[in-house]
Structures are given as structure tokens and as C-alpha cells.
Amino acid sequence: MNKLLLIFLGVLTGLGSLAQGHQQKYNVLMISVDDMNDWAGFLKGYPYPKTPAIDKLAGEGVRFNNAHCAAPLCNPSRSAVLTGMRPGTTGLYNNTYNFNDVLSDVLTLPRYFKNNGYYVAGAGKLFHADYISINDWDEYLLRNRDNIDSNIQKNRVGKAVWAAIDQGDEALDDTKMVDYVIHQLKQEHNKPFFLHCGTYKPHLPWYIPKKYFDMHPLDSIVLPDVNENDFDDIPQMGKEMIKHSGKTWARLKESGKWKEAVQAYLAAQSYADAQIGRLLKALENSNYAGNTIVLLWGDHGWHLGEKHHWTKNTLWEEATRAPLVIKVPGNNSNGRVIDEAVDFMNIYPTLADFCGLEIPEHCEGFSMKELMENPDMPIKQPAITTCGQNNHAMRDEKWRYIHYNDGAEELYDHEKDPIEWTNLANDSRYSNVKSFFKQYLPTRNKEQVEIENYHDGYIRKRGVVVSADNPEGIPLDEYYKN
């Protein structure tokens, strides 16, 4: 074969694979589950979980056994994942200010995919409080209020609110959010898509159809192990973390309703799981099953009595560990379990990498593509969670190290003490362990942002599909008619 012909054939092959490469560009289905802690079955945080859909996905994809949020609260966690920047970089530590009030022109994860030729749409809770930046999306369904009978008998103990309702799944808005994303999966898409589906459950309130309570009979409920003297070795800053919501746990215990409240959380998890199951089934039955990456994450963990606490926003295992599953069709990584500690800053770069997009420079995490494809790859860097200015927790396979902004510390050995009862930070035998972690303490620790007029310019409509062309939005029934 002469040289010219070889070059010609080479060009043809190149063109062919380019065309194919474009067609085969992965789609993305991102599923965000609000307040889903490590009781999701595959993480084994609870002995009798009922989350079959999430567990099935975890079995099919790569399940991260030791994954931690960037911040243990909705807004800072979500903002960090979706902007690619840690709370200490943005100054977003609480739920007051949305990313877009603080950061002008930030290249969010959906905007990055949109800029790179993706059709980008979604539904439900993604950024906190439904503030989405309309230009980041082709269209988005904003969530609505649940449609709960007003005469239900509600249980309320502090921050625990629940009821088993005699209504079907359609009473809850998450059901409609999932329906919309299923609708998207049934459409012909002429370019790759990035679809988002966010469920609000298992976030409070836990007004959940009774059938999900029945999946968790009260006499089967196992309460978390609690050590009455746990706080004897915890510094003042740690005690501050449970100051408010910890009272709910104490009251639940006194009222004898702790078990009921735990049952309600499990019911809310099972409801969310059932919706996710419908969505994943629809993907399986769609034209896109073979080329759609599925990434499921929970925004942070949740205490149900562990460390005398109720809810979130601490730097202990229960608040930082959350579900993360990534399934890339046809990838050799599927079925693997990653025990290395990772944090959610890696979500943005990993999705970009698998989709053949350059990882934007501002992203503070790293792509886990190589780690997923080669699980023996050691990663030096611990997982980092930030809770308020300059308070950080770090995790590797063996240790949790906590460093508060006043210099106080905690250190737990997860091999011997997985429920973090014995603080080893003051034991000189472990000073080298602390030194290891200290070198990774984030150096950017911006002050909490304070701004005026912070909700300006946001869409606060409910239950409508919005787009840049129609920021007022279209009601769902009308939308489906068109």
C-alpha cells in the first residue's frame, strides 16, 4: 500500500471515529436525593434498609463506600458540588444566600454542559430553595408544594415532623418531578443530554403514604447506639454543633417517640427510593440506556440520635457520609466498590472527564475516572468536609480528623471505633496522624458572605416549567398537552 493511500485511509478512519465519537457522547442523568444518609441500603448504615432501587443501581455501577459531602447542609453542599468550589472559596456556609447572589457568572455544572452542546433540563431540588439560574438550562421544572390532606394527624416533636398519610404517591411533589424527567427520557433528543432529577424526600416533613411506613414495622426499628458520656471528650466547638437540633433528640427520647420518628425517616427514604426506581426503570426502557451515565448522590448525611443529635450540620460521620454511585455504561469499573475516602468536589470533574470535556480550572476536586477504572490506585488526599468558616473534617480509610477554627481537634480511629466515641486527638501517640491531615487543611477560608437584596432576580414560581424564553413558566398540565 502506498504512503498516500495510507494517509487517506487514516484520515477516513479519523473522520469516522470523530463522527461516531460525537454520536456516542455520553448523556448524563444526575439524581440528587435530599438528606439521604448512609442508611441507603448499600452503605449499611442501618441494619434493615428498604432502598432496593438505589441498591440495584449501586450493584450495577461503582459504589463509593466512603464518600463525604463538601459541607453537611443543603445549600453549601449543593453550591460546592455544582459550582466546583469549596465553601471556604465562596464563603457559602449556610442556607441564607444562594450561589448566584454571591458569585457572578460562575460556570456551574449544568451551564458547562450547556456551553458544550448538551441539552440541559431538569426537575426538583438541585440548588437550595429552588433558585436556579435560568440561563444555565434549556428548561427546568420547579418543584411545588406537596398536596397533603389538611386534616391529617401530624406528629411534631421539635424538628421531627411526621405522619403516615392515607394518600398515594401522587400526593407528593417528588412523584411529579420524576414523571417530568421520565417524560424527557421518552423524547427524541438530537444532541446529548444532561438531565437532572432532584427528590426533596427524605427531607422533612415526613408526611409519607402509609404503605412506606408499613415497610418498616415499628417493632422492627433499631435505634442508633448512643453513648451517654460521649461528649466528655469533645471540645466546646463540637458541643456547639448540636446546641439547637440536639434538643429534638432529647425530647424524642423523653416522649418515647424516637422509634416512631426513625420509622418515619425510613418511610421517607423508601418513598424516595421508589420514585428513583421508576426513573431508573424508565431509563432502562428508553433509547438511552446504553449511553447514559447515571450519577446518584445525597447532599449530606443525617443524625437520628447518633452523637445526641438530630438532623445535620456537624463534622461527624453521620452528617458527612452520604450515598454516591456512578454508573458509566460499558465501563470496566461497573460493579466495583471504592473504599478510598473521596468527597463530592469530585463530582463535577468526574462527569466532565467521562463526557470528554476538559475539567474547568476553577474546579477544586479531581476526576475519579482513573480511580474507578483502577481501584488499586492510591489517592493521597483525604476527603474534606467544611462546616462554617474554617471548621473542617477529614477522612481517609482509617481516620476522621476534625479541626475547628479555634484550634480544637478530634480524631477517631474507624477501624476500632466506627461510631466515633473515643476522641484520640489529645493522645500524643497519634500526633503524626494529625500532622498528616493538617497538611491538607484548606487554606482558603473566606468569611461568611453577607449581602443585601439577596433574592433579587430569582424565579420563585412553583410547579411550572421555566426556560429562558419563558421565565414565567408553563403549568405542568399545559406543558404536557403541547
- Residues annotated as catalytic are 74, 128
DSSP 358: P
Q: Which residue is nearest to Ca ion (CB)?
A: 74
Residue of 230, 353, 370, 413 interacting with Ca ion (CB under 5 A): 230
Residue of 36, 57, 71, 74 interacting with Ca ion (CB under 5 A): 74
Look up residue 458 and give its amino acid.
Answer: Y
Rounded to 5 degrees, φ, ψ at 209 are -50, 140
Applying CB under 5 A, which part among 80-88, 193-201, 233-241, 398-406 lies near Ca ion? Answer: 233-241
Q: How would DSSP label each residue in 237-304?
A: HHHHHTTTTHHHHHHHHHHT-HHHHHHHHHHHHHHHHHHHHHHHHHHHTSTTGGGEEEEEEES---EE
On whether the CB atoms of residues 181 and 288 are closer than 8 A, the answer is no
Residue 327: CB minimum distance to Ca ion, A: 23
* 299 near Ca ion (CB under 5 A): yes
Residue 422: CB minimum distance to Ca ion, A: 6
Nearer to Ca ion, 34 or 260 (CB): 34
Nearer to Ca ion, 60 or 233 (CB): 233
The grid coordinates listed for 228 are: 451517654
Residue of 138, 233, 353, 373 interacting with Ca ion (CB under 5 A): 233
3-state secondary structure of 164: strand
Cβ of 150: how many Cβ atoms within 10 Å? 4
Applying CB under 5 A, which part among 245-253, 297-305, 340-348, 372-380 lies near Ca ion? Answer: 297-305
Residues 32-51 contacting Ca ion, CB under 5 A? 34-35
Applying CB under 5 A, which part among 63-71, 283-291, 296-304, 322-330 lies near Ca ion? Answer: 296-304
* 306 near Ca ion (CB under 5 A): no
List, in sequence order, the alpha helices (H) in 24-93: 52-60, 74-83, 87-90
Cα distance between residue 119 and residue 290, in whole Å: 18
**β-pair type (27-33, 193-199):** parallel
Site size with Ca ion, rule: CB under 5 A: 7
State the burial class of residue 251 (Cβ atoms within 10 Å of its Cβ: 0-12, 13-18, 19+). middle
Cβ of 280: how many Cβ atoms within 10 Å? 22
On whether the CB atoms of residues 434 and 401 are closer than 8 A, the answer is yes
Nearer to Ca ion, 421 or 479 (CB): 421
Helix 258-284 / helix 173-185 crossing angle, nearest 10 deg: 10
Rounded to 5 degrees, φ, ψ at 104 are -90, 135
Applying CB under 5 A, which part among 26-34, 102-110, 176-184, 244-252 lies near Ca ion? Answer: 26-34
The contact pattern for Ca ion, residues 345-374, with x = CB under 5 A and - = no contact, is: ------------------------------
Cα distance between residue 46 and residue 368, in whole Å: 27
Nearer to Ca ion, 279 or 319 (CB): 319
Residue 298: CB minimum distance to Ca ion, A: 8
Nearer to Ca ion, 133 or 311 (CB): 311
Applying CB under 5 A, which part among 6-14, 72-80, 268-276, 338-346 lies near Ca ion? Answer: 72-80
Nearer to Ca ion, 146 or 299 (CB): 299
Nearer to Ca ion, 29 or 74 (CB): 74
Cα distance between residue 319 and residue 372, in whole Å: 25
Rounded to 5 degrees, φ, ψ at 364 are -95, -10
* 273 near Ca ion (CB under 5 A): no
The grid coordinates listed for 95 are: 442556607
Cα distance between residue 85 and residue 109, in whole Å: 11
Nearer to Ca ion, 292 or 313 (CB): 313
Applying CB under 5 A, which part among 51-59, 67-75, 106-114, 188-196 lies near Ca ion? Answer: 67-75
Residue 427: CB minimum distance to Ca ion, A: 13
The contact pattern for Ca ion, residues 401-440, with x = CB under 5 A and - = no contact, is: --------------------x-------------------
In whole angstroms, what separates CA 45 from the centre of its chain? 16
Rounded to 5 degrees, φ, ψ at 429 are -65, -20
389, 403, 398, 407: which is closest to 441 by C-alpha?
A: 403
Cα distance between residue 58 and residue 67, in whole Å: 13
Applying CB under 5 A, which part among 29-37, 142-150, 361-369, 461-469 lies near Ca ion? Answer: 29-37
Nearer to Ca ion, 138 or 230 (CB): 230
Residue 299: CB minimum distance to Ca ion, A: 4
On whether the CB atoms of residues 261 and 157 are closer than 8 A, the answer is yes
The H or E element containing residue 341 is none
Residues that bind Ca ion in the complex, under the rule CB under 5 A: 34-35, 74, 230, 233, 299, 421
